[in-house]
Structure 1
Amino acid sequence: MMRAPLISSLTFGLASAAPFNWPGNPHHHDEINVQLGPRPYFVVNDMDEGPLKIKLQSCSEGPFYSTDFTFGHRGAPLQFPEHTKESYMAAARMGAGVIECDVTFTKDKQLVCRHSMCDLHTTTNILTIPELAKKCTQPFIPADPAKGTPASATCCTSDITLAEFKALCAKMDGSVPTATNVTQYMAGTPPFRTDLYSTCGTLMTHKEYIGLIDGFGLKFTPEAKTPMVPMPYEGWTQEQFAQSIIDDYKNVGIDASRVYPQSFLIDDVYYWIKHEPEFGKQAVALDEQVDTPEGYLNSTTQLATLAKNGVKIVAPAFFALVKLDTNMNIVPSEYSIAARKAGLDIISWSFERSGFLNHGGGYYYQYVKEVINNDGDMYTVLDVLAKQVGIRALFSDWPASVTYYANCMGL
């Protein structure tokens, strides 16, 4: 199935609104007319009455501008298929000063933007293309109600070549575990998202992403995704993978100050600090240890060691940065205090990824869930992150929401 030769309405709208220079004309930057749309206003209106709501309401007419406080998490995947040209363009329009490409690689060792090496079965149409579906690590298996087994598949970028990858269409991430056929399985978009812009999302190589973001004059945050194949991969080591990401920026003359390389593997971060020190200055140590109580304590005690070893920026999920005090006020957590004591900057993730907050907000609000009961509460948490924790930036699935706050507060 080849890509339909259509020009998306977003592409056309952006092109008509500002004379962007697309990839192929590097380093020629045009000012972006930032537009936030109705969502931030909806969230502000949903806030509890108080000084913060009044302040945010006072900023309703802008001006709005791009800010490095806003990181586009996979672009703008609340409504656009993640890591696509369309998602990145939307993030740029919504004022994200820094936009993310999670970097993995294809069978022929070409760098591409995907959140996971093995997510093609839920984020693309690969299962509908027989000649590619049969190459999947695990082709589609329908659910078996009699045995109680869910539908499953595993399709990885390492299963296919770059040319085959580029023939795919991106869709909203989701699947249906009770599916008995591929069409059913490919559904599953959460109700707080939409398929409106999911007709055929344009998959991106890492180099294409660099060209696109550079054309906007914005900054980059590539994440070295942990490979799901044994490394070395056909003689290609983890260090060579980490280096190849940096080489893509150096080869087109991108200044290191515009790049925030990130990884959950601390050895990747240490590699950049040692071998690419200019890029290593802004290398981000992603932290998922905080997901368990034991890991949270370990991470908190290890922050000083990270700083001693040259790490400048840490990035846990934002639930780890806040807690409730005895008066049920949201305040900085022990992790936040320890990071600041160690002299570390903090970038956190991921705003607008929790869906409806009527019932506590789930994963990202787990330490403050007792006081979370409406969507407007997300700005209450963000205010603590910005003013009391002092985060440097926040990843968001809908950058407009963070940009609105950042512009209003002069960040």
Structure 2
Amino acid sequence: MKLLICTSLIILLSACSQTPQSKNIQVGSRPYYLINDLPASELKTQLQACSEGPFYKTDFSIGHRGAPMQYPEHTKESYIAAARMGAGVLECDVAFTKDKELVCRHSQCDLHTTTNILAVPELAAKCTVPFKPAQNGQPAQAKCCTSDITLAEFLTLKGKMDGANPKATTVAEYLNGTPSWRTDLYASNGTLMSHKQSITLFKQLDVKMTPELKSPQVTMPFNGFTRAHYAQKMLNEYSAQNVPSDHVFPQSFNLDDVKYWINNNPEFANNSVYLDGRDETANFNPNNPATWQPSMAELYDDGIRILAPPIWMLLALDDNKQIVPSSYATSAKAAGLKLIAWSLERSGPLNSGGGYYYQSIKQAIDRDGDMMKVVDVLAQKVGVMAIFSDWPATVSYYASCMNMANSE
């Protein structure tokens, strides 16, 4: 009966449309699994009390590459899934093609692990490093870049779950490298997208947008295409589709990119996001301000208003092994910087310390349910403005339960 009613109303209400409506958010079963896995606590009781919703779209929940825990990243299917889970902001990582068009890819040179390019002979032949099978103790190799092919060629590819088999002796074996804690159930036909197409889709989904300008892996200028051209072209494509600047959060790990936007596109200045990857530099310590170059105050003085580090840099353990804000987090807030954390749901099972994203608090991480404790500390004690997640339903459930501001 419900199916018949839904079908009869499709033209009038679009209730059964592939495009999710902001009033019909569905979080699925995973948040319940995580909450059930929490030890008895006030937080667990509070979250359980919200089991029947209502759940809503929230800017606190950012779809990191869409919903890549189970859908091929940066595909139409991944984005739609993230929006259905309540992500009020979606991310397109921006790379460029041989003909200098912008596309959604996490890296300029990841097509060999995130698409079927190696299974398409005429395009595989154009890869920077064509497939080489594992032999004589050496792993299989390949390197295929967006800049190896045109936009038209890029759009003929199909997205797959990110992964490769280093022991492969054939292309088919190489492409079969999905981590065991993810799935290929929804990965047979991922639809790749240009940056322009992602903007159109995000407008249809009624979400905000956070494009990340990826570092080029070719020498710049690229056929006359400079880094400034690249940074400006990304923002121009939002203006061309009349997207309000306050609905766009441009990001980069390169501080010069962020300064370029601040100085040349003032309408985007307050929303420009500096992705902090300084933990890759020698001697960086989130609890030692002397190792932060530039300092929090210097970032603010340069016009930076939003700082986005990995989760672990925002958290520490107190003497009782309880999760608390790090010195980095408290100093950033004191300097007037807003914070965004990345990336929840990206480490697989948390029964052994959680890996990279939880390294500063690994002594307090031994079960999947601890993920909800991390979200709670980030929200209530650190005071982040949003959390990137590979499965946005987890963050959307929490934000809805805690009556955090939605994106209506």
TM-score greater than 0.5 by the shorter chain: yes
SS in 2 for 1:268: helix
Residue in 2 that maps onto 1:26: none
1:18 aligns with 2:15: yes
- Larger displacement relative to structure 2 (31-40 or 345-354): 31-40
RMSD over equivalenced CA pairs, Å: 1.7
1:341 aligns with 2:334: yes
1:82 aligns with 2:73: yes
SS in 1 for 2:91: strand
In structure 2, the CA distance between the partners of 1:328 and 1:300, relative to structure 1 (3 Å rule), is farther
Q: For 1:394 and 1:300, locate their aligned partners in 2 and report how far apart those are by CA, in whole Å.
A: 24
Residue in 1 that maps onto 2:357: 364
Q: CA deviation at 1:20?
A: 5.3
Amino acid at match of 1:164: E
1:117 aligns with 2:108: yes
SS in 2 for 1:368: helix
Amino acid at match of 2:267: E
Amino acid at match of 2:394: S
Amino acid at match of 2:102: L
Matches within 5 A, 1:193-212: 193-212=182-201
Residue in 2 that maps onto 1:48: 39
Q: CA deviation at 1:295?
A: 2.6
Q: For 1:312 and 1:299, locate their aligned partners in 2 and report how far apart those are by CA, in whole Å.
A: 17
Q: For 2:294 and 2:41, locate their aligned partners in 1 and report how far apart those are by CA, in whole Å.
A: 36
Matches within 5 A, 1:3-402: 18=15, 31-144=22-135, 146=136, 148-291=137-280, 294-296=283-285, 297=288, 298-299=291-292, 302-402=295-395
4+ runs deviating over 3 angstroms: 14-17, 19-22, 29-32
In structure 2, the CA distance between the partners of 1:211 and 1:39, relative to structure 1 (3 Å rule), is same
Q: CA deviation at 1:290?
A: 2.1
- Larger displacement relative to structure 2 (393-402 or 273-282): 273-282
SS in 2 for 1:68: strand
Q: For 1:234 and 1:290, locate their aligned partners in 2 and report how far apart those are by CA, in whole Å.
A: 33
Is the 1:78–1:193 Cα contact (8 Å) retained in structure 2? yes
Structure 1: state its 5+ residue gaps.
1-13, 23-28
Q: For 2:387 and 2:277, locate their aligned partners in 1 and report how far apart those are by CA, in whole Å.
A: 16
SS in 2 for 1:349: strand
Structure 2: state its 5+ residue gaps.
1-9
Is the 1:166–1:204 Cα contact (8 Å) retained in structure 2? yes
Q: CA deviation at 1:31?
A: 3.6
Q: For 1:107 and 1:95, locate their aligned partners in 2 and report how far apart those are by CA, in whole Å.
A: 35
Q: CA deviation at 1:292?
A: 5.4
In structure 2, the CA distance between the partners of 1:309 and 1:34, relative to structure 1 (3 Å rule), is same
SS in 1 for 2:139: coil
Is the 2:208–2:248 Cα contact (8 Å) retained in structure 1? yes
Is the 2:118–2:171 Cα contact (8 Å) retained in structure 1? yes
SS in 2 for 1:294: coil
- Larger displacement relative to structure 2 (75-84 or 229-238): 229-238
Q: For 1:254 and 1:19, locate their aligned partners in 2 and report how far apart those are by CA, in whole Å.
A: 26
Query: TM-score if structure 1 supplies the norm length?
Result: 0.92
Query: TM-score if structure 2 supplies the norm length?
Result: 0.93
Q: For 1:362 and 1:271, locate their aligned partners in 2 and report how far apart those are by CA, in whole Å.
A: 34
Instruction: State the aligned residue count.
Output: 390
Q: CA deviation at 1:19?
A: 6.2
